[in-house]
Amino acid sequence: MSQLLEGKTVLILGVANKWSIAYAIAEACKREGGKVLLTYQGERQQRTVEDLGADVGASMVLNCDVTRDEEIGTLVEQLKAAGVTLDCVVHSIAFANREDLSRPFQQTSRAGFGLALDVSAYSLVAVSNALAPLMPNGGSILTLSYLGAVRVVPNYNVMGVAKAALEACVRYLANEMGAANIRVNAISAGPIKTASARGIKDFSKVLDGVAALAPLKRVTDPAEVADTAVFLASHLGRGVTGNVLYVDAGFQVMGLLGA
Ligand code: NAD
């Protein structure tokens, strides 16, 4: 059987450990014959991500803190120097201060608001603009969002505002980059137990609620998100851009919960 990403090169930003959604995406891209490149956020993660990179046969594992323009620039230079062209970029990155994911939203500080929006939304713009020249044949840029962008999810707070901005960025980028045949989409994933998710107060209650109430009566498996990422990266996704695709066991369609 032919593989969906044969001949395609996929750069994945956001692997921190083997539970990262980005790692599930890397595994699925490898399975489908894609050439995988990974980035990590600073020296602290380097060893772990290099080891995970070896597991998915990553041809390069490079540093990039997306809040630093110079590190995004260095990443581009390293890719250019290696003669890399990209078909797909996966942005699987978010951050907010822990206290902003537990105290009332109205107490969010100016600095905490700026930080969450910078890391979790603006970075998609910066990375897309920097990497587009490495996508001469067009391709797919993908980011990860969550229902908190459009509904109130307790404790998600400033991250919900950041995801709303991220989803708007997807639409504006899709419009501008479409002429270069670059498609830009988000997957809105159901809650998944990862390091980032553990920072959200009472996250296990969210998981229990989804398992009980979602149409599929279970939570989302990261492999399901990864398979949708493969679809979007592949020829099969060629008509899809500017979209937010829900991969959430159907939870987002529910109105009256528990009825
Ligand atoms: P994760 O903690 O494994 O991944 C988050 C990644 O963001 C880490 O690799 C971290 O290093 C990276 N990151 C944070 N700040 C960075 C910076 N300044 N520069 C570079 N990288 C930085 O958790 P995850 O759940 O896999 O999160 C991946 C994405 O999926 C995030 O955008 C998250 O909001 C989104 N998402 C997660 C869930 C969930 O329930 N886990 C649901 C929907 C969407």
CA distance 63 to 144: 20
Please say if 23 is a catalytic residue.
no
With a 6 Å cutoff on the Cβ, whether 140 touches ligand 1 is no
Q: Give the mean model confidence (pLDDT) for residues 55-65.
A: 98
> Per residue in 127-140, pLDDT tens?
999 999 999 999 99
Q: Is 146 a catalytic residue?
A: yes
Q: How far is the C-alpha of 37 from the C-alpha of 97, rounded, in Å?
A: 28
Q: What is the pLDDT of residue 1?
A: 66
CA distance 25 to 169: 22
Is-contact 95 121, C-beta < 8 A? no
Q: Both tokens of residue 225?
A: 């998100």
In the three-class reduction of DSSP (H, G, I as helix; E, B as strand; rest coil), residue 82 is classed as: coil
On whether the CB atoms of residues 44 and 67 are closer than 8 A, the answer is no
Distance CA 33, CA 91 (A): 20
- Contacts for 68 with CB less than 8 Å, ≥ 6 apart: none
How does pLDDT run across 183-237, given as a tens digit for each residue? 999 999 999 999 999 999 999 999 999 999 999 999 999 999 999 999 999 999 9
CB 47 within 8 Å of CB 53: no
Domain 9-248 indexed as CATH 2.60.120.260: no
Residue closest to 155 by CA, chosen among 208, 199, 118, 221: 199
Spacing, Cα 16 to ligand 1 middle (Å): 8
pLDDT for the residue 127:
98
